[in-house]
């Protein structure tokens, strides 16, 4: 499987709209709502604009050249927040994509820490621990509460190849 990260502006708008309106994803995304073509276009511009303002941002994720979803790092008040949203047919590839993104975040983008915020509808403790993330309290975005986890560059490097097995 070939994982590529490209700008969100490089994928067809209709693919983004389809992903953002996927009901199986929405059940774990408390801030999600039905997205129109116009709203999706604004969303893509805002996400892509983070590259200029922060030096990092979300990507479109391609698997073997096909749009699989979006993911990457977004600046929040408490750090660089990693998010990954995949079309259901690609859900089994999330760990490999996450490892590739974290490698890029720490080794190419120069991030020192990464946080993730996961809704209480998910039970991620074992999965995120395998990647080296440690529990880091709770946060609130848009009135919704999330469990937060934090991964430092040092913990990522110390874990070495054990976290990067495929």
Residue 144: the pLDDT is 81
Q: What is the pLDDT of residues 37-46, one digit of tens each?
A: 898 899 899 9
Residue 106 has pLDDT above 50, yes or no: yes
Dihedral sign, Cα of residue 105, residue 109, residue 112, residue 116: negative
User: How far is it, in rounded angstroms, from Cα 54 to Cα 70?
Assistant: 18
Answer yes or no: are the C-beta atoms of 38 and 47 closer than 8 Å: no
Lookup: tokens for 44: 């893509």
Whether the pLDDT of residue 162 is over 90: the answer is no
Give the mean pLDDT of 88-95.
Answer: 92
User: Which of 115-124, 136-145, 157-166 shows the lowest mean pLDDT across its residues?
Assistant: 157-166
Q: How confident is the model at residue 27 (pLDDT cuts 50, 70, 90)?
A: low
Residue 25's pLDDT is what? 64
Instruction: Write down the pLDDT at residue 166.
Output: 42
Domain residues of the chain, as ranges?
3-163
Whether the Cβ atoms of residue 22 and residue 35 lie closer than 8 Å to each other:
no
CATH class for the domain made up of 3-163: alpha beta
List of E strands, 35-132:
58-63, 66-76, 79-86, 113-119
Look at the pTM and tell me if it is higher than 0.85.
Answer: yes
Is the pLDDT at 1 greater than 60, yes or no? yes
């Amino acid at each position: 499987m070939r994982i590529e990260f490209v700008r969100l502006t490089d994928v067809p708008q209709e693919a983004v709209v389809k992903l953002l309106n996927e009901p199986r994803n929405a059940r774990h995304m408390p801030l999600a709502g039905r997205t129109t073509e116009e709203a999706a276009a604004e969303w893509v511009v805002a996400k892509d604009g983070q590259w200029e303002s922060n030096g990092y941002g979300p990507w479109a994720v391609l698997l073997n050249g096909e749009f699989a979803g979006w993911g990457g790092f977004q600046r929040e008040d408490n750090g660089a927040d990693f998010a990954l949203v995949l079309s259901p047919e690609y859900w089994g590839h999330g760990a490999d994509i996450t490892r590739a993104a974290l490698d890029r975040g720490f080794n190419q983008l120069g991030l020192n820490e990464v946080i993730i915020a996961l809704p209480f509808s998910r039970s991620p403790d074992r999965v995120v621990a395998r990647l080296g993330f440690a529990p880091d309290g709770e946060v609130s975005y848009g009135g919704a509460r999330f469990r937060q986890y934090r991964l430092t560059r040092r913990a990522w490097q110390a874990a070495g190849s054990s976290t990067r097995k495929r």
